[in-house]
Structure 1
Amino acid sequence: MTDSPGWATPGSEPSDGDRSGAPADRPGPAAQPPAPPVQPAQPPAQPAAGPKWSAEQPPPGQWSSPAPGQQAPPQQPPQGAGWGADRPQPGGPYGGQYGPPQQGGPYGYPGGPGPWGKPPAAKPGVIPLRPLGLGEILDGAVATMRTHWRSVLPITLVVATVVQVISLFATKFMMDDLIITADADMTPADAINALGTTLSVTVVTQFLQYLGTIVVTAMLTMIFSRAILGQNSSISDAWRDSRAQLLRLIGLTALLGGGLIVLAIVLMLPAILSESIGLIFLGLLLWVVLAAWLGTLFSLASPALMLEKSGVFKAFSRSAKLVKGSWWRIFGITVLTAIMAAIISAIIYYPLSLIGLFGFGGGLDALQDGTATTAWGTLIFSAIGLIIAQTIVTPFQSGVTVLLYVDQRIRREALDLELARAAGVENYGTTGG
């Protein structure tokens, strides 16, 4: 991996317990040499070649060797000791139950909880460089949106606005002559015409949404990758870093979506031909299960494609490799994120849609005569609601996906060492970190 956010293709995948890339000779607390024994009648021996001791040694009279010909003074307990006069008071040089370790001392880590504890993980950016919990993943996505909003929000706002404006005019002019009512006198030809027009509008709007989502996902992935390193990223930087992979990301998304459609056809076609309602529900249920499994298995393909600069099929393979053994965890976090995004979108979208319908779209009368779906007031306020919702929800979901990818690589491939090096964290991974 280089210092840029476009991470190189990793090597082999070790197990969670055997993290390749970590230094084999990383010293831990148990590897520190013991203090030299006190020799009362001899001058202190010269230290042998080995690890360098810190310059901040304990004050004289506690752990230093006596001068030649001088007996070692007896150790006196400090004043105010706990269990009586013979118990050392907390605050000794060894940390742990005797107080915090001395800064830079040989038996403790700077800022660590004690000599035998692990120091806090480095955090150059929005997440600590260690395996992440659910709260840290969600908080990292929100922190990136809050800290780097000058890059995140304009991207999603502009793309969402363009998509919704085009969708608004497409809906208005393609469905303007279509009257959808609950009239029982509607002929089969009218029903087929209404269904065809509705499907055409749906295809156009979903295609625009599909292209916009790909562009946003590609650029936001690069912004999140830099935010992990504590680096800022402008809109131009995000576009420059992501544009080379845009066509591949389009192909990856189309291949995944097309595969799910083909799977649905294969599962539902026999049931439709046999005209069996039971088989239709069984096929639908089986499709939902397989779609959830495949969607989770390949959920990390997009960040793998963008950050490793790989091909489409290599990205699918990398995602399956990273998800293996953690499917339920990634599935649960993805579902929770989708539920949160749906709630946020509903809170924003539906009030504005109701304002457009009852304030400017004709209200209940428009619903009855079928003109509500093409009224300017309804369309405009619905578009505004979607723009605001997508501006907030899209970067949140993209951020969770990127952080899940990073978390899995930290757990399996010791990516934290590479991230620390790229972020300029000195001595990370060589002092027990």
Structure 2
Amino acid sequence: MNDTPGWASPGSAPSDGQSDGQPSGQDPAVPRPAGSPDQQDAAPDKWSKQQPPAGQWSAPGAPGQQPAPGPQQWGGPSTPPGRGPGWNAPPAAAKPGVIPLRPLGVGEILDGAVSTMRTHWRTVLGISLTVAVITEIVAILLQGFVLNSDASTAVLDDPDATVGELTGAMVDVMRDTGVLLVLSLLATFVVTALLTMVTSRAVLGKSVTIGEAWQDARPQLPRLLGLTFLLPLMAAGVVAAGALPGILVAAAGASEGGAALAILGGLAAFVVALWLMVRFSLSSPALMLEKQTIRKALTRSAKLVRGSWWRVFGIQLLAAILVNIVVSIIVIPFSFLAGALSGDGMTGFLETGGNTGWTFLIITGIGSVVGSMLAFPITAGVSVLLYIDLRIRREALDLELARAAGVQQSGPGTSGPRPGS
């Protein structure tokens, strides 16, 4: 038997129900003429290799009478490229919800995330809008009262600034950027966890309200809170540990060498942190759907991602690029509008490179809310569907999902690697 899901490759070994004497590529359902050589001596090598199409010839002794066409036409323009005679199309996998119940390709994962948002838009957009509004309010308050990087930006633009001033300004900018990135990461994890319940129901073709999603997620919220803080702190700790030697050298007096060492160490640590974040990127769906503890959810994610790190990283990177394009299309017009209505107008906005006044922050914040409301569901859906896809590939979860949805798979062996995925 062939292990490839859903279809047997041409030229493969005969299946359990196929006789070894059957000619290669011959469909057993194709009618044969009475008194043909194979009925006389059952010798497949005496058959001509160029048989007429099924249903287009008459049996001897019955002129003008044609048998019913067989299930598969031989050759002809309808034969798929690269497929030999007798090839049958693979059975379609069951699709009770937003994805087919089989190993998924990259496009199917992205399409499933968008389909979930489109099919259950009230629940999905309600959750994402709430999280986006709360996140943006916190970000505006932080930028207005705490994270004022105008002075640091001026130092970085000053060609006469000393190495110490440049180092301090860079640290301030990295701190401000890091805080906003962590805030965005926290919001993404929260949305992913809450929408896990919606996506898991959408896979089965079932709808869920915000109240039902809340009831399903509530028992795991304390653990989710710990996981939400643990992952960013883990990444920040790794990056800080990599930059620490350079910071100590700079504090000892060798500012130039220390700064270079801190940058190199920070870059190396960033690669390690990225590897860990991808490795543990499925811990939130595992925690919510499997009711795991934080430690077991991290272990579960690492087990699922093992051997598929580059695939998981590539799909998440592609989703991030698409999300950023969507957000940019929405946010950029709001940024120009904010620049025109704040400070010295558009001329002052372009000359100073931006204005962080309250008018600017509020208008750009509105644009960010709209962009995040559309971006969060895609990011969350990709994470959940990646988790489901890896479980289908490794644990035949599609069979369990088919039973839960009340449908029957079209054919055996649907789990496993999928060509082109």
TM over 0.5: yes
- Distance in 1 of aligned mates of 2:354 and 2:315: 41
- Distance in 2 of aligned mates of 1:280 and 1:306: 38
Counterpart residue identity of residue 341, structure 1: V
Instruction: Give the aligned partner of residue 27 of structure 2.
Output: none
1:125 equivalent to 2:97? Answer yes
Contact in 2 for aligned 1:215/1:246 (Cα 8 Å): no
SS at match of 1:395: helix
Query: What is the correspondence of 1:26-425 to structure 2 with a 5 Å cutoff?
Result: 30-31=16-17, 81-82=55-56, 91-92=69-70, 95-97=71-73, 118-174=90-146, 182=154, 209=184, 212-274=187-249, 275-276=257-258, 278-362=260-344, 363-365=346-348, 372-376=355-359, 378-425=360-407
- Distance in 1 of aligned mates of 2:87 and 2:340: 67
Counterpart residue identity of residue 236, structure 1: G
Deviation by residue 1:131-178 (Cα, 9 ceiling, x = unmatched): 001111111111111111111111111221122234324433457998
- Distance in 1 of aligned mates of 2:15 and 2:208: 38
Instruction: Give the aligned partner of residue 3 of structure 1.
Output: none
- Distance in 2 of aligned mates of 1:206 and 1:296: 16
- Distance in 2 of aligned mates of 1:181 and 1:310: 45
Counterpart residue identity of residue 211, structure 2: S
Counterpart residue identity of residue 269, structure 2: W
SS at match of 2:207: coil
Deviation by residue 1:71-99 (Cα, 9 ceiling, x = unmatched): xxxxxxx999547877977732xx23369
- Distance in 2 of aligned mates of 1:145 and 1:254: 27
Instruction: Give the aligned partner of residue 80 of structure 2.
Output: none
Instruction: Give the aligned partner of residue 409 of structure 2.
Output: 428
How far residue 361 of structure 1 moved from its aligned partner, in angstroms, is 3.9
Consecutive unaligned residues of structure 2, counting only runs of 5 or more, are: 6-13, 20-33, 35-51, 76-85, 250-256, 415-421
- For residues 341 and 80 of structure 1, do their structure 2 counterparts lie closer, same or farther at Cα, with a shift above 3 Å needed? closer
- Distance in 1 of aligned mates of 2:333 and 2:228: 32
Counterpart residue identity of residue 223, structure 1: V
Counterpart residue identity of residue 233, structure 1: V
- For residues 117 and 367 of structure 1, do their structure 2 counterparts lie closer, same or farther at Cα, with a shift above 3 Å needed? closer
- For residues 80 and 173 of structure 1, do their structure 2 counterparts lie closer, same or farther at Cα, with a shift above 3 Å needed? closer
- For residues 335 and 176 of structure 1, do their structure 2 counterparts lie closer, same or farther at Cα, with a shift above 3 Å needed? closer
- Distance in 2 of aligned mates of 1:152 and 1:304: 20
How far residue 341 of structure 1 moved from its aligned partner, in angstroms, is 1.2
- Distance in 1 of aligned mates of 2:4 and 2:394: 8
Identity among equivalent positions (%) equals: 46
- For residues 336 and 193 of structure 1, do their structure 2 counterparts lie closer, same or farther at Cα, with a shift above 3 Å needed? closer
How far residue 273 of structure 1 moved from its aligned partner, in angstroms, is 2.7
Deviation by residue 1:294-344 (Cα, 9 ceiling, x = unmatched): 122111111111110101111111111111111111111111111111121
- For residues 384 and 88 of structure 1, do their structure 2 counterparts lie closer, same or farther at Cα, with a shift above 3 Å needed? farther
Contact in 1 for aligned 2:241/2:269 (Cα 8 Å): no
SS at match of 2:73: helix
- Distance in 2 of aligned mates of 1:340 and 1:431: 35
- Distance in 2 of aligned mates of 1:79 and 1:264: 68
- For residues 83 and 406 of structure 1, do their structure 2 counterparts lie closer, same or farther at Cα, with a shift above 3 Å needed? same
- Distance in 1 of aligned mates of 2:211 and 2:386: 25
RMSD: 4.4
Counterpart residue identity of residue 143, structure 2: T
Counterpart residue identity of residue 365, structure 1: G
Contact in 2 for aligned 1:361/1:375 (Cα 8 Å): no
- Distance in 1 of aligned mates of 2:323 and 2:354: 30
How far residue 203 of structure 1 moved from its aligned partner, in angstroms, is 7.6
How far residue 241 of structure 1 moved from its aligned partner, in angstroms, is 0.8
Contact in 2 for aligned 1:127/1:140 (Cα 8 Å): yes
Deviation by residue 1:338-395 (Cα, 9 ceiling, x = unmatched): 111112111211221111112344334367679921141x112210111011111111
Counterpart residue identity of residue 400, structure 1: V
- Distance in 2 of aligned mates of 1:176 and 1:289: 28
SS at match of 2:356: helix
Consecutive unaligned residues of structure 1, counting only runs of 5 or more, are: 1-16, 20-27, 34-61, 63-77, 100-113
